[in-house]
Structure 1
């Protein structure tokens, strides 16, 4: 894998698919995708809850979200039938919800979902820059 960031839908999806392939080839513990902080300027909801991230490992996607973001995630799942909520955790000592999704599909479809989640769940613009911070 030679690039670790992308800022438009097509290159982000390619980045996600390449990162998933690298993660599997390296047999690493997990893959972490993080939104670039510069993409969050002017978004008070994200500023309040921190930088959005998504993790992938063993056909599972892990992310944190608020109640509103969870509702948007549930709505997004109707477009991705190969994905389902596996577990919801609401820690007492933290705001928000940790969500584990089961993703039983190919890396390209997972990449499409990750990109849709960044834009839909976190309400971020199409030009959002992301990083593969751990592969």
Structure 2
């Protein structure tokens, strides 16, 4: 991999697909993709992220984000919630989504997660934070 960030829909999907391929090629434990925080984000803000390990996506959601994730899953038949964990010491829910599909479709789903679930603007920057 030679690039680690992208700002357009097509570039972000290509970056995610390349990062997934690199993750699988390296047999790394997981891949982390992060959306850059907007300039007006508070000091305590944490960038939204999606991790991939094998064919399981892992992401943290507020209640509203979880509702949007469940709605998004309605249009992705090869994806399903594997597990929802609500830790007592943290707000929100950790969602594990099983993806029974190819890397291109996973990359499309990741883009839709950032745009629809995390409500990122059309020009948000995506980072391959850990491959």
Higher share in helix: 1
Unaligned runs of 5+ in 1: none
1:41 CA displacement: 2.9
- Which residue of the other structure, out of 116, 124, 131, is the alignment partner of 1:128? 124
Deviation per CA, 1:57-105: give whole Å up to 9, x if none.
Answer: 1100000010000000000001111100000000000011000000010
Name the residue aligned to 1:41: 39
1: CA distance, partners of 2:66 / 2:46: 16
1:49 CA displacement: 5.5
Name the residue aligned to 2:2: 2
1: CA distance, partners of 2:74 / 2:45: 25
Count of residues paired in the alignment: 131
Q: 1:97 to 1:49 in 2, by over 3 A?
A: farther
1:48 CA displacement: 6.5
Name the residue aligned to 1:52: 48
Secondary structure at 2:11's aligned position in 1?
A: helix
